[in-house]
Amino acid sequence: MTIKQSGYYNALLHINLTTGKITKKGICAEDIKDYVGGRGLGMKLLWDHIKQPGINPLSEENPLIFLPGPFSGFPIPSVSRTCVVTKSPCTSPIQSNYPHASTVSYSNFGGFFGPEIKFAGYDGIFITGKSPTPVFIQINNDNVEIKDASNYWGMGTDKFDKIFIQDLSDRRYRTCYIGPAGENLVPYASIIHTASRAAGRGVGCVMGSKNLKAIAVKGSKLPDVADHNMLVKKMTGARNYFKGFSRGKILSNIFRKNGTAFLFEKKSKKGQMSVKNFQEGTFPQVDRINADAARNKLWVRNYSCYCCPLSCKKSGVIKQGKYKGLLVHDGPEYETGTMLGANLMISELEGIMKLIYDGDDYGLDIISAGNVIGFLMEAYEKGIIDKDDLGGIDLTWGNVEASIKMLEKICSKEGIGALASQGVKALSKKLESGSDFAMHVKGLEIAAHNVQANPEKGISYSTSNRGACHQNGETVKKQNSITLIDSLGICKFACTTPLGLSTKKLAGLLESITGIKRSADELLMVGERIFNLEKMFNYREGFGRQDDNLPERFFNDAFTIGTEKGAVLDRDEFDTVLLKYYQERGWDTKSSKPEKSKLAQLGLEFTYS
Amino acid sequence: MYRNKRHFNKERRHFIKKIAIGSSAILFSFGLPIFSISSSAEDGKPDQLASILIDFSKCTGCRTCEAICSSFNNLENIDESLMPGIGNPYHANIKVYNYNPDIDVPSVCSLCSDAPCIQACPISEDPVTNRKALFRDNKTNAIVSDPTRCIGCGNCQEACKNESSGIIRLNRATGMPEGICNLCGGDPQCVKHCPYGALRFEKQTINYSFDRMSPDEIAKQLTKQNYLI
């Protein structure tokens, strides 16, 4: 019998798509306390379910877990995130005894899905098995059904988003789904929500492997909380934090005005942008793709996630040119705009937007897709591959039409697309050349933040537990904090230091929900515990010190333009910083394995066998 | 007496609606802000009541209004005193509907001056209070359901769906109407707490062309205007 924890239902919705069995199972109260929810609880559930290393991420055994956090559903600002946790189909270690060795993957998306899982009465949805035919899951409180999705199979996410909600005949359902890329098992396929918000980094491929097209959820509940009055007071306080003359207001104004697009100019100036497959950090044509340009040519309105005062999402329509009339569901954001823009030397804003639209419609992770196309462009320029290899595509730098065709080939796995869909690591291996400029860590493609002039980002990428991750954090403390935020269900943007909500404020909110008194430092320890459990999962699969590496390019190819001209990483310095990082983490400096004492301190003795 | 005792002139109402839509289209074609709501009372239709108006150019679909509405109107008994609820949006009287292309439509009682819901209520007027089971509150002008007299026939829901925005829903257990805005006693909290200033509580003016329209109809119109399709 599980002890009921305030603020939770202590209930996980288990769905086995092989047998069609649907059950509601309890969650251990200790796990709720130690891993809180979202990314953390997902990792613990994954650890408990996968008892052996090397299982195939696309097998029935690999669970696909959707998790709101303890904040989700309560009207706290920006508590919109849904975390998807699974074993990654994208990553692989340099050496391992297991054929399917890969890291954990966690990816979270904003919108309205996570809160709705909470409203439906669950702390998470745990999906295993594989349906023999395409299906979707419909959840209306306790009424859960697995239904035929054959008619939807092959449909792009934009069209599906429109049609599916009509077919459900109730707009109060919140849906997430995969596109053709996920169906075709492209490893870096995404799960999409509201036609644009995405959980990337491979989770869509796992959903595809289960023949699961979509999930629709709606509900009417909220769990009891420990201290009602305190929570109402603290929620009001948190909402007011973003009003009037406050730091929160400054933060929300930045996002309201430009979304993440405010970064284009800033990052390019500092030499921190991913340009020309990471060869440069500055994009000379940045003024053609920045926020001002997008506002003129594309944006119509701001769009928020659940209870969010930031509204960073920009929607609109391409107002002129070749792609006139094409919808802009979101963008360009900094990531999508850079990876399918500057990284490919494309400065035509409408072209970038068309690429982003296609990427979302296919349900592809745009970071990975942009990275892969950048690699192919460079390989083409260097003569490693020719036009015939590319199926007749003239994949030159800045070529929008060629990039559109490449995205299509990746999604359909046709011709060169079959190989390109496996990611840059697989591509460079197969081509037996190009590993110097295959921009990935542990097999996952690097994002739009370049490293040569921003060495700290190198630590973020190299030590991330899901492979190259720009949101991992550059220091131990930051990583623990971000891990915690990912586990609470709140958005990182609202917690940006120094303008956003502080860990102390988050601790107060969590305490009033759960009744468990914890200081900010104690909460950061929760983040540390989760990060270490992820690390132990990866270590068990065979990932070690050698895998916490960066591509050669960062050490060899200095920038040739911009204010940071000449910038390049120093190998020895990187090794020293990484060594210090391990020491601070309490990990063995040779193997990178967390020390026994560290694991014991965090209550992770069960991982040590 | 009752503020709702007004002459229902359907032709006139439709005529006004047409002008409203037409004028919006003209304004739009000249690139003027079509969503602006004039605050000048003189512009208001003389028999209009103040209601919650939505500035669609500001709404971002965050649904804070839902949570606030639910919290204020579903008090909970905590330690023997009534406190604001947590804010479960399911119980909100204002509901935000999301569309693709990205349009968000907060939908709330239009406080129709002719109140088709009250007209449809089959319960006879109480000789003392002159009230049907559905009546207009003297003080706030909000429409109120009397659970002691309501028979759960659902006529009000039908009338609202056919002649106005369709915000009335029936409670599954009792069959009684729900979702009717009570204006929080005259000081609508959603208006007060909208993070984007997208809600206003005032008399409608000629510029407000979305009166009594269903979310689907509003979304259709806004999609055309916003996305040129």
The residue of chain A nearest to residue B229, with distances taken between CA atoms, is A325
Q: Are A559 and A269 in contact (CB under 8 A)?
A: no
Q: Cβ-count burial of A244 within 10 angstroms (0-12 exposed, 13-18 middle, 19+ buried)?
A: exposed
Distance CA A284, CA A267 (A): 12
Contact B62 A315 (CB under 8 A): no
Answer whether residue B3 shows pLDDT above 60: no
Number of C-beta neighbours around residue A286 at 10 A: 21
Residue A104 lies in a domain: no
Closest partner CB to A325 (pick from B196, B215, B229): B229
- Taking the CA of residue B60 and the nearest CA in chain A, the distance in Å comes to 4
Exposure on the CB side of residue A267, measured as CA atoms within 13 A: 29
Answer whether residue B32 shows pLDDT above 80: no
Chain B interface, mutation test: which of A116, A221, A232, A253, most B Cβ atoms within 10 Å? A232
Q: Residue B83 belongs to what H/E stretch?
A: strand B81-83
Q: Tell me, what amino acid is at B113? A: S
Write out chain A residues lying below 8 Å of B89, CB-based.
Answer: 119
| Torsion, Cα of A78, A82, A87, A93 (10° steps) | -20
pLDDT digits (tens, 9 = 90+) for A115-125: 999 999 999 99
More confident residue, B227 or B64: B64
Distance CA B89, CA A74 (A): 9
Contact A303 B102 (CB under 8 A): yes
Sign, CA torsion B7/B8/B9/B13:
positive
Per-residue model confidence (pLDDT) at position A2: 58
More confident residue, B18 or A370: A370
Helix runs in A180-226, H state only: 180-183, 203-209
Answer whether residue A297 shows pLDDT above 60: yes
Residue A436 lies in a domain: yes
- Taking the CA of residue B56 and the nearest CA in chain A, the distance in Å comes to 9
The parent domain of residue B119 ranges over 10-227
pLDDT digits (tens, 9 = 90+) for A412-439: 999 999 999 999 999 999 998 888 999 9
Write out chain A residues lying below 8 Å of B64, CB-based.
Answer: 75, 239, 307, 309
Instruction: Kindly state the average pLDDT of the residues A83-112.
Output: 97
Instruction: Kindly state the average pLDDT of the residues A373-393.
Output: 97
Write out chain B residues lying below 8 Å of A311, CB-based.
Answer: 60, 62, 196
Instruction: Kindly state the average pLDDT of the residues A158-187.
Output: 98
Total domains, chain B: 1
Share of chain A above pLDDT 70, in %: 100
Sign, CA torsion A493/A494/A500/A504:
negative
Exposure on the CB side of residue A367, measured as CA atoms within 13 A: 27
CATH code at B164? Answer: 3.30.70.20
Give the 3-state secondary structure of residue A469. coil
Distance CA A352, CA A566 (A): 28
- Taking the CA of residue A73 and the nearest CA in chain B, the distance in Å comes to 8
Answer whether residue B24 shows pLDDT above 60: no
Distance CA A175, CA A160 (A): 10
Instruction: Kindly state the average pLDDT of the residues A344-364.
Output: 98
Distance CA A230, CA A253 (A): 28
Q: Which residues contact A372 (CB under 8 A, 6 or more apart)?
A: A410, A420, A423, A424, A427, A445
Instruction: Kindly state the average pLDDT of the residues A45-64.
Output: 97
**How confident is residue A230, by pLDDT bands cut at 50, 70 and 90?**
very high
Residue A550 lies in a domain: no
- Taking the CA of residue B136 and the nearest CA in chain A, the distance in Å comes to 29
Q: Which of A28, A141, A119, A107 lies closest to A72 in space, CA to CA?
A: A119
Contact A311 B62 (CB under 8 A): yes
Q: Are A85 and A65 in contact (CB under 8 A)?
A: yes
Total domains, chain A: 1
Distance CA A533, CA A606 (A): 10
Distance CA A165, CA A184 (A): 23
Q: Which of A347, A331, A306, A361 lies closest to A489 in space, CA to CA?
A: A306
At residue A458, what are phi and psi to the nearest 5 degrees? -60, -40
Write out chain B residues lying below 8 Å of A305, CB-based.
Answer: 62
**How confident is residue B207, by pLDDT bands cut at 50, 70 and 90?**
low
Peptide bond into B89 cis (omega under 30): no
Distance CA A588, CA A595 (A): 6
Answer whether residue B17 shows pLDDT above 80: no
Chain A, residues 292-321, CB within 8 A of chain B, namely 300-309, 311, 313, 315-317, 319
Answer whether residue B30 shows pLDDT above 80: no
Residue B1 lies in a domain: no
Per-residue model confidence (pLDDT) at position B205: 66
Tokens 């679909």 map to which residue? B61
- Taking the CA of residue B144 and the nearest CA in chain A, the distance in Å comes to 23
Closest partner CB to B87 (pick from A75, A194, A242): A75
Report ipTM (2 d.p.): 0.95
| Structural tokens at position B68 | 């606030």
Chain B interface, mutation test: which of A302, A312, A320, A513, most B Cβ atoms within 10 Å? A302
Distance CA A432, CA A327 (A): 40
Distance CA A264, CA A272 (A): 10
The parent domain of residue A437 ranges over 254-445
Q: Cβ-count burial of B148 within 10 angstroms (0-12 exposed, 13-18 middle, 19+ buried)?
A: exposed
Tokens 């995205």 map to which residue? A407
Residue A423 lies in a domain: yes
Q: Are B143 and B109 in contact (CB under 8 A)?
A: yes
Distance CA A331, CA A308 (A): 18
| Structural tokens at position A431 | 């081509």
In degrees, rounded to 5, the angle at the alpha carbon of residue A11 between the alpha carbons of residues A131 and A143 is 55
Residue B36 lies in a domain: yes
Q: Tell me, what amino acid is at A460? A: S
Number of C-beta neighbours around residue B5 at 10 A: 10
Contact A232 B71 (CB under 8 A): yes
Residue A425 lies in a domain: yes
Q: Tell me, what amino acid is at A539? A: Y
CATH code at A394? Answer: 1.10.569.10
Write out chain B residues lying below 8 Å of A319, CB-based.
Answer: 228
Answer whether residue B1 shows pLDDT above 80: no
The residue of chain A nearest to residue B64, with distances taken between CA atoms, is A307
| Structural tokens at position A539 | 């270590």
Q: Which of A302, A196, A202 lies closest to A256 in space, CA to CA?
A: A302
Longest dimension (CA), chain B: 59
Q: Tell me, what amino acid is at B55? A: D
Per DSSP, A87 falls in state: E
Residue B63 lies in a domain: yes
